[in-house]
Chain A
Amino acid sequence: MSLSPEQVKQVAHLARLSLPPEKVEPYARQLSNILDMVSQLSSASTDDVQPMAHPLEMVQRLRPDAVSEENRREAFQAIAPAVEDGVYLVPRVIE
């Protein structure tokens, strides 16, 4: 399995990663090597095997629908890169 530089750019876009142009080719080579290694999986016979998402046979635990956490808005916003008047700042989205 080999990934072309174009595919790497597309994956990086989906993952919201900016890649400098000089890194695209090395990433394409490395990711292709990783996918080659991973392709050994196709040798396993998995007909009728149930996929396993998680090691514990458990269902999601439920809790009473009651407030359990205190509001720590100020503490959490204190570590944000840019806030003003209690809201997070981002570049303008709507012109």
Chain B
Amino acid sequence: MSLHELSLRELGDGLRAKKFSSRELTGHYLGRIGQHDKALNSYITVTADRALAQADAADKVLAAGAGGALTGIPLAQKDIFCTSGVKTSCGSKMLDKFIAPYDATIVQKLDAAGMVMLGKANMDEFAMGSSNETSYYGPVKNPWDLERVPGGSSGGSVAAVAAGLAPIATATDTGGSIRQPAALTNLTGIKPTYGRVSRYGMIAFASSLDQAGVVARSAEDAAVVLQAMSGFDPRDSTSVERPVDDYSSGLGASLKGLRIGLPKEYFAEGLDPGARACIEAAIKVFEGLGASVREVSLPSSPLSVPTYYVVAPAEASSNLARFDGVRYGHRAEGVHTLEELYKRSRGEGFGAEVQRRIMVGTYVLSHGYYDAYYLKAQKVRRLIYDDFRRAFGEVDLILGPTAQSVAFKLGDKTDDPVAMYLNDIYTIAANLAGIPAMSLPCGFHQDLPIGMQLMGNFFDEGRMLNAAHQYQQATDFHRRRPKAFA
């Protein structure tokens, strides 16, 4: 097997057994990026020199018989995470020349774990998008079909991992930006509980919804990196002071007695029959593994998308007010007043989707509309949260589709923002409630991957990852790779 086909555990074993060095492994991945990324556009910045220096440092640690499970293993970082001394663009012209002056907490943590950063992954501008077509650096292509989108906003992260241009990647999820692209590219992606992973140094989109996680080739790979990223951080005011479970050691438990709920609203009209068939087959696999399945109801879930498109733009309009053309980021030339400086810098620096969301947010927060939109959305958010509270009184995990269908074609939805927003119909509720959720491969339709979603109760990542792992022991969908990138 080639190096890019090995799991993180196999890579770690190989490094410790001196079958290959981190420099060789890193070089292999950099070579593949050079060979394949023109077709995919999954990286905004490749940090080859930095990666090889990190690899050499990891090799020294390994030679001394030290280091942990991740020492010397490469990864891609979504370009939303600040990386000291390295361009951090967030997919935007606004930050095209922004060299971050500090590291995000998760970057520090993964560096400290000995991981090697290959580069910064492409993404929708400020993580606003479901197809990776809003990036200032151009769209990312889906490795399974280059005419199709990889999903978004973590489109670069998933394309890189699916095509074997990184063994694993970080990602973020505000309304589905880890799970939907993972589903569209045959990957396992997990968004943990809100507050589990530090948001320090992760460029803010909607602060009450944003959460970092990973996209990986298996639940086992995801567990080990999520473990290293998670934990309390005093620099994030909403970080939760609570020990992190040992996700990897929990991956052996039987699913006997596991209660899985199927929300009837998620299997209603709108779900593609091809996707439905895959998910129904997956439910049978879980039953075969000893889980019991019952229907549950999340009656307010049809209102998730409208709720989100008030709350998220409102928070975004406030967060993105910091981009003023003065302290960092794009600054317009030839302006004569301060107001003109703000307006032109922001008009030139932000793309159309970001501008739309800033304007929607500004509108719903403005005098006279606040109660009808923002306050109303916050109340419906409570109803959505209460639905999950009730459901998790009856079941341990909730299972449903991640996306309505397979990846769509580039350009299909770019002219219709509302059609684009409906891509996240199954994923948004978990962000509004704050619960952990993940997507994992469960079959193919028209030779394109289908993902299923698991949602868990607060801080139940371990149970969810084990359910996914047990499913992946019984199936091989997650092992399939796009042929063009063998």
- Chain A: residues with CB nearer than 8 A to chain B? 3, 8, 11-20, 23, 27, 30-31, 33-44, 46, 49-56, 58, 60-61, 63, 72, 75-76, 78-82, 88, 90-91, 93
- The listed residue with most A CB atoms (<10 A of its CB), out of B356, B380, B381, is B380
Q: B341 CB to closest chain A CB, in angstroms?
A: 6
Identify which of B364, B379, B432 contacts A46 (C-beta below 8 A).
Answer: B379
* Docked CA distance A54–B416 (Å): 29
Which residue among A20, A52, A91 has the maximum number of chain B CB atoms within 10 Å of its CB? A52
Mark the stretch among B63-71, B342-350, B437-445, B463-471 that contacts chain A.
Answer: B342-350
Interface residues on B, range: 35 or more
- B108 in the interface (beta carbon within 8 A): no
Cβ of A40 and Cβ of B303 under 8 Å apart? yes
Give residues of chain B (182-231) contacting chain A, Cβ–Cβ below 8 Å: 194-195, 208
Hey, which chain A residues are within 8 Å of B479, CB to CB? none
Which residue on chain B has the smallest CB distance to residue A58?
B238
Given A41-B380, A46-B380, CB of A55 within 8 Å of CB of B363: no
Which stretch, B1-9, B158-166, B306-314, touches the partner chain A?
B306-314
User: CB distance B310 to A90 under 8 Å?
Assistant: no
Contact B195 A56 (CB under 8 A): yes
Whether A76 lies near B383 (C-beta < 8 A) is no
Interface string of B288-304 (1 = CB under 8 A from A): 00000000000010110
Partner of B418, one of A37, A51, A52, A53: A37
The distance from the CB of A8 to the nearest CB of chain B, in whole angstroms, is: 7
Q: Are B362 and A72 in contact (CB under 8 A)?
A: no
Q: Which of A34, A42, A91 has its CB near the most chain B CB atoms (within 10 A)?
A: A34
Q: Return B50 CB to nearest CB of chain A, in Å.
A: 18
CA distance A78 to B357 in the complex (A): 30
Taking the closest CB of chain B, its distance from the CB of A92, in whole angstroms, is: 8
Q: Is the Cβ of B383 less than 8 Å from the Cβ of A53?
A: no
Interface assignment of B29: CB less than 8 Å from any CB of chain A: no
Contact B101 A76 (CB under 8 A): yes
Known A-B contacts A38-B309, A42-B376, A46-B379; A72 and B358 likewise in contact (beta carbons under 8 Å) = no
Can you add 10 more A-B contacts, CB < 8 Å, to A41-B307, A46-B380, A58-B240?
Answer: A17-B358, A27-B356, A30-B356, A34-B309, A34-B417, A41-B376, A44-B376, A51-B375, A79-B101, A91-B341
Smallest CB separation, A24 vs chain B (Å): 11
Given that A17-B359, A30-B417, A46-B383 are contacting pairs, would A11 and B306 also be in contact in the complex, using a CB cutoff of 8 Å? no
Decide if B378 touches A60 in the complex (CB within 8 Å): no
Residues on the B chain within 8 Å of A38, using CB: 306, 309-310, 364, 373, 377
B358 and A15 form a contact (CB under 8 A): yes
A-chain residues with CB within 8 Å of residue B418 when the two chains form the complex: 33-34, 36-37
By the criterion CB–CB under 8 Å, are A80 and B328 in contact? Answer: yes
Residues of B within 8 A of A61 (CB): 234, 237
